[in-house]
Structures are given as structure tokens and as C-alpha cells.
A = this chain, B = another copy of it.
Amino acid sequence: MQRSDQDEQGHTMAKEKPQTTAQDPSLALLAATNSPADLKKLPVERLPELAGEIRQAICDQVSQTGGHLAPNLGVVELTIALHYVFDFGHDRLLFDVGHQCYPHKLLTGRGKLLHKLRQRDGMAGFPEPRESDYDLFSVGHAGTSISTAVGMARGDTLTGQGDRRVVSLIGDASIVNGVAMEGLNNAGTLERQFLTVLNDNGMSIARPQGAMAGYFDRVRLSHHYDDFKKRAHEVLKRVPLGSALEELYHRAGEVMKAAINAGHMFEQFGLLCVGPIDGHDLPGLIEMLEEIKDFDRPVLLHCKTIKGKGFDFATGDPTTFHSPKPFVVSGCRVELKSSGRSFTSAFADALTDVMERDEKVCAVTAAMPDGTGLNKILPKFPERGIDTGICESHAMDMCAGMAKSGLKPFFAVYSTFVQRALDQVFQEVALQGLPIRLCLDRAGYVGGDGAVHHGFMDIAIFAPLPGVVMLAASDEPNLQAGLEFMRTYDDACSVIRYPRDNVVDQPLQASATPFELGKANLVRPAKGKKPDMAILAYGVMVYEATQAIDRLVEDGYDIALYDARFAKPVDADLIERLISDGTPVLTIEEHALSGGFGAQVVAACAERQVSADQVHRMAMPDRWVYQDSRANQLAEAGLDANSIAQRVRGLLDQKISPPIKIHVGVGTVKKAAK
């Protein structure tokens, strides 16, 4: 099946234009800055020039391979200032989400990996300890940096490494995530150095959501660094007498004292709050960080930045980017313009259709309107389309409440991010029997985003929940039919999954038959009455299997192909019939073996007391798969058409009776002796 340009072409282009940074004479300063030690040798006056080169290097690269542009452009000065003041070979730097780590990587010796950004053996798009000791945690999900930082602060202190300073860098959209707020609440109890840098660009991934976004807006409008300097005395008067804050205040240095914000909302979390200050003013940042770096209590430094600083999204100056390829800005990312139609787009159109026909249907996203396609829906249905911000747990419970009121919420969320809401699906959804509809985008391998974003365990985590129904969409007609099934399925929670990929141009069946609970769909019958094998493919694996069968047919094999459609309940009648006919069954899924579709098929065999000996399973291997094109990841996992064809041949060409054939049935066991 065809895939988006982004993966395939990005991979090809890397060979055409290697080592951008080193070769471009306009990036000489960056090329000479291969470590924080190099950086520290530069005078402050030259740092803005370095910032400019970092921006150019990132823009050049992202325009060619896609990636996160705006988040990285926004933190260039912050990153330079942090590395200039701290020593992160010794001190601890923790990124939240991590999509803003490119400048950090360029400053820690990884410029040479940039030309293969988000590709195999190239620079990962997120922090990656396998690349460098400067990266402490592989991250990609939001809100975790403060909590891991609290752990490192506690750990370093307990292990006699208390001189290692701890810094976390987090955005305004992430800091209101539940985990981050739990982290802040606990950070406030630390009695040691602990710096949280709030990168407040007021943009979130899409638009900021929730009441606190309004708070940040007010703070941005009402405070300026210059103002602070002028009115240190006035600020001092606002510090409550006798408070812990007052005690901290009097220990602060002059620069810091001038910027202390006694009315900051996070002061209630026990943090000394400073700012907001200008996050692009390098000398100002360095001066502040120098003074703050050894402060012996938790401090939150609020920095105002401009997301995408240096790149005008509105006019999109192409000459800056030397880009031969068309690209689109999608939320905070740049996506190379795809030649195909994505599942995400197909979903958006299908859900729009559902919403037009059924006024009870609502659409919900947790800060991913672009990634889930809901950007097409929210403006069209302002009442029934809701973006909650980055808070999957809240969003799931909100959906539960809406369902309890009689609505039909469809929550569009990445498979990997729904992990944040497992407990809510357990308690507020499944235990209540509420018919929430979960639409899991990015199920399976995700390409360049790598291991932090693969959707590999959604079936495993939801299948143990009584009543939950699980579907997969193999193509656009089946996605439409699946959503229509979910619209009318009111008995319990239903979950559909689909990958970060394009839909096929030519579906096996131009219009899908309606989904029937627990029924598979025969999409490519065998030629004879008794096929050599039946393949039950889950989701898009149908099309990998189709390609495999094309080859197998040439070799004379006769294979029946089913679109399994349901992982819970599986089509037990079909499975029993196939086995009773002596037809070997091969299940294929883009999900972990443990608890996946194939596991449900085997369980169904056990329940029906039919042998599962001729049920074979292909699934994602039990190891991490890193950034690469999705096609390569599928091949690496043994889930591409080639691997499938090879496996089928292997099973059919040799007698696949198990190496140890069991002839000793328990029927030979003596009867009870009594």
C-alpha cells in the first residue's frame, strides 16, 4: 500500500543533501560549537548570532524532512542560556514533551545527525539517551518532566550528589496537565535547588484550552520584565508578611528579587515564582539564570516566548528555507505535503458525516485537533466539538459524563496517548457500561516519531474490560462503516483503531458491508473450496496481506483473506468453522502479541474447546522499534507483505506439525480410582 511522502521521501532526500550544517558557510559558528564547552567559550555578544544559525539549520532541515518547527524555534535562546549557565554534563536537564529538543541536540554534539532528522541512525525527534548522555529520558508524552525532576532531585540528594542542579523545561500547555500539576504540588515540598522553567508561548500544540490559559494571558498582558525592574519596591510590598515566600524572598539576589511574582498562581504550589521575563533576551536570561541557579529552594521561572520565533507562519517566506518540497504547518509540526489521503482525513470526513446525521454525536480531542483531523470538525460544530487541552484523563471522564447525559461522544485520540486514560476507561466508562466511542489514531508504528509514539498496546489494555468492543478499520469504506456501527452501538464502550498512514486508493471492496458485532468480513475468497490457509488480518494488515497473497497466488497457493474487523469479540463461529474444516489460520495485527487480536482468537478457541494448534500469529515483536520510515518499521517488525508471504510459505511448505507432536492424549489417563 502507498504511504505518505513524508516517510519515504524524507529517507531518500537525506542521501541527496547530507551534512547541511557543516557544509553551509552561513552556519560556521554553529559548526564550530560542538559541545556546551565550546558554547561557554563564546562571549555573550556572539550568542544571538549563534541563535540565528540554529534557527536557520532547523528551518532548513525541517522544511525537507518534516518535524517540529515552532516549538524548537521558540526555545533557541532559552536553550543557549541554560547551557551557557548550567553544566548539564553534571547538572540535570529534563525536557517536557521533548519536541523542543533540537537546539539542545545541536549544542550537545549532534549537529552531524541533523541531516537525518527523525530517520534511522539520524537525530531522533525527541530526547534520546541512546544518542547522548545529555538526554536523560526518552519522552514524547506531556507533563512528566517535573515529576521525573523531583525524583532526580530526591535521588541525587539521597545518593550524595546533591550538588547536581536540576532543571526542567516545560511549556504552558503541558504545565496544566494533571501529571505536571501533581509534580508541581510535590516539587513545592523540596528543600533544595530545583528550577522549573516555564516556556510560555500561549500557543499550546493548537490553541490553549482551559481556564488557566486565561490566567497566562492575563499575566502576559500585565507584567513586563522592565516593569519589574522599575518597581522592585512595589513588588516587595505585595509579599505576605511571615510567609515562607517572604523568607525565600529575602534570600534572593537583586535581579531575581526584582522579578519575583508574589501573586503568581503557582506560588500556591509552594514555588518561588519569578517573571514572566523575555525568553528571547539572551543577556537578560543569562543574568537571571546566573543568579537563580544556586537558589536553594524550588523556583519557577516564567519566560515569555514566541512559538516559531523567526519564522513567519502567515507569509511563509520560502527563500529562508531553500525548500524544493511543498510542506504544510500542522499544529506545531511541519508535515511534508502528502500525495495521498490519510486515515486522519478520512476519519474527519466520516465523523463529519456521522455528526450531520446524528445530533447526539459529539467530537472530543485532547489538544490534537490537527493530529486527529478534528480541526475540520471543531469550527463546523462549535457546540458539539470540544478541545480539552492536553488532559486525556479529564477528557475521558468528561466523555463519560456526556454519555451519562444521553450524548454520544467520539473521543479522537492517539493510541499511545489513550494510555493516559486507562483508569478512566476502566472506572468511569467500562464499569458503568457507558457507550463512549474511542477513535484511536496512530495505532501501530508511527514512523519518525519513534518509540514514544507507537500505538502497540491498546487492545491489550482494553480487552480485559468486560463489555468493551474493539474494532479496526482497514480502509476508508471500512472506517466509515465502523464509525456508523459505533454510532448505533449503545450497549458499551467501543474502540476503533487506524494507523498513521494513507488509506488505499483502491479498496478491496468499494463500499464496505455494514459492521456486524463480532463478525469478520471475507474480502478475498479462496479459489477452491478448501483453501491452503485463511488469513485473518486486523486493520490495515489486510492490505499487507493482500500484497503477500498476490505473490503467493503466483506460486500456486490458495489463500482466503478476511478483514477481521473485531478483536473483541472475535468471530468465533468463523474460527471454529475454519479449524473444523482443517484450514490453518494466520492472524496478523499491528499490535503487541501479548493481549492482542491473535491472543483473543486463541482464547476463543479455548472457550469453544477447539484446537488452536493450527492458529498462527504475526504481531509486533516484544522490543522497542525506533524512528524510521513506517515502511521500514513494518519490515523490521516482520509485518510487511514480504514477511507475511515468507511466513505463509514457511508454514505451508513444511509439515508444520509441531516439532514435538503430541499423541499422548489425556484419554489414556486412568479413571479415578475410587
Contact = CB atoms under 8 A, between A and B. Distances in A.
What is the copy number of this chain in the assembly? Answer: 2
Interface string A381-417: 0011010110101101111111111110100000001
Interface stretch (A180-188, A325-333, A512-520): A180-188
Interface residues of A, number: 147
A179 B383 contact: no
B391 A182 contact: yes
A236 interface: no
Most buried by B among A137, A181, A557, A670: A181
A667 interface: yes
A244 B388 CA distance: 21
Contact of A186 (B156, B268, B391, B657): B391
Interface string A172-205: 0000111111111111110000000000000000
A667 B656 contact: yes
A293 interface: no
B464 A594 contact: yes
Contact of A428 (B148, B391, B616): B148
A45 interface: no
Contacts of A389: 182, 185-186
Interface stretch (A22-30, A31-39, A450-458): A450-458
B427 A141 contact: yes
A422 interface: yes
A41 interface: no
Interface stretch (A211-219, A303-311, A478-486, A500-508): A211-219
Interface stretch (A1-9, A253-261, A602-610, A634-642): A602-610
A574 interface: no
A658 B611 contact: yes
Contacts of A189: 209-211
Interface of A: 129, 136-141, 144, 147-156, 158-159, 161, 176-189, 209-212, 214-215, 244, 265, 268-271, 360, 362, 383-384, 386, 388-389, 391, 393-394, 396-407, 409, 417, 419-420, 422-424, 426-428, 431-432, 451-452, 456-457, 460-461, 463-466, 532-533, 554-557, 576, 579-580, 582, 584, 592-596, 599-600, 602-603, 606, 609-614, 616-617, 622-624, 649, 651-667, 669-674
What are the 7 A-B residue pairs with the smallest beta carbon separation, nearest first?
A151-B401, A178-B178, A155-B405, A556-B673, A188-B211, A211-B270, A595-B595
